Amino acid sequence: MVLPTGTVENGRLIIDGPRISDRAPENARSLDAGGLWLIPGFVDLHNHGGGGASFSSGTVEDVLKGIRTHRAHGTTTLVASTVTDEMDLLVRQAGLLSELAEQGDIAGIHFEGPFISPCRKGAHSEGLLRDPDPAEVRKLIDAARGHAKMVTLATELPGGIDSVRLLAEHGVIAAVGHTDATYEQTVEAIDAGATVATHLFNAMPALGHRAPGPIAALLEDERVTVELINDGTHLHPAALELAFRHAGADRVAFITDAMDAAGIGDGRYMLGPLEVEVADGVARLVEGGSIAGSTLTLDRAFKRAVTIDRLPVGDAVAALSANPARLLGLADSVGSLEPGKYADLVLLDADFDVKGVMRRGEWVVDPQLG
């Protein structure tokens, strides 16, 4: 069992209703999970869909299908991400997603685009991109009805710094991403209130010795949490090691950046208005070949972290649970196994494969323990 204080062998966790308790209720039933790892449920800051469903353009049932797909892989708290589209469509989808946030199905909304750089657009439609006008940023915040959690911006664009300040004033995370900013411009954005690096290393200038760019600024500043997509495609293991060494284990958040194909398989899909081909688990735009999100689930990110990247289990758990929960302001209810918090947990076998998932005291994936 992995607790905030470290790994405990032969530990005991008491669950009373939807929460973890420090005392056993009457008629408590004991379940033997001997030989399994017990870790907190995963918290995904950046996720566009799964199970063949999109969070950015789908119906309520589509979104719920995607949520169920990721829950089966251990993600018990999820922020739904949109992709660049017409403003009216983004406003409409924000309204739909806000209803699901009010019901507790998602932890909030992340707007990735349209306020990003055409130089680093990745899998976003260039014709729909625009500068981050604070009035339009505010329009999305208002459409989310208090459930906007994060907005990714190319903060070097006209209106970028003012938009960062606006987001900070409204308690919404300003994330630097899909950016062509210099080191100095990124420092300015952080000083204005930006606190997240959207999928660090990806969709931004490479680290240079004369022009260090945004990567150096984002890694060195203790106010910034850096997102990493640990799927073996987006990052070389040395880049992941660099991020952990310079940011520290308490400033890294593993994300999926998942699109529709997560949990499904290869084939043709849509990411917003763009067509995507998934082959051998890697998603790329049909036109141009840019990587288009991922097919990752967080259980795979965790397994890779501890078996291939050789991260300590505690560091991997922090990156998947405690760090994103803290960033979202949810550390009092999720992100670790402590009394008073929701009983969100994942059971893994010795090979770090999922055997059981519990959310708020109910099994999503029943391990069939005796």
Backbone angle region of 81, left / alpha / beta, with phi > 0 → left and psi within -120 to 50 → alpha:
beta
Band the pLDDT of 1: cuts 50, 70, 90. confident
344 is catalytic: no
Task: Give domain status of residue 48, yes or no.
Answer: yes
Token digits of residue 235: 């990052």
Task: Give domain status of residue 23, yes or no.
Answer: no
CATH of the domain at 313: 3.20.20.140
Task: Give domain status of residue 317, yes or no.
Answer: yes
Task: Flag whether the pTM goes above 0.85.
Answer: yes
Please tell me the total count of domains within the chain: 1
Average pLDDT, the chain: 95
Task: Give domain status of residue 45, yes or no.
Answer: yes
* CA-based nearest residue to 202, from 297, 122, 274, 262: 122
Task: Give domain status of residue 290, yes or no.
Answer: yes
Task: Give domain status of residue 1, yes or no.
Answer: no
Domain that holds residue 174: 41-334
Contacts 24+ apart (CB under 8 A), 87-92: 87/114, 87/136, 87/139, 87/140, 89/57, 90/114, 90/140, 90/143, 91/139, 91/140, 91/143
Catalytic residue among 257, 260, 299, 344: 257
3-state helix vs strand vs coil in the chain, percent to 5: 30, 25, 45
Task: Give domain status of residue 313, yes or no.
Answer: yes
Give the distance, in angstroms, between the CA of residue 224 and the centroid of all CA atoms in the same chain: 15
Q: What is the predicted pLDDT for the residue at 103?
A: 97
Q: What is the predicted pLDDT for the residue at 9?
A: 85
Task: Give domain status of residue 138, yes or no.
Answer: yes
CB 75 within 8 A of CB 357: no
CB 40 within 8 A of CB 336: yes
Per-residue pLDDT of 24-48, as tens digits, reads 887 777 888 889 999 999 999 999 9
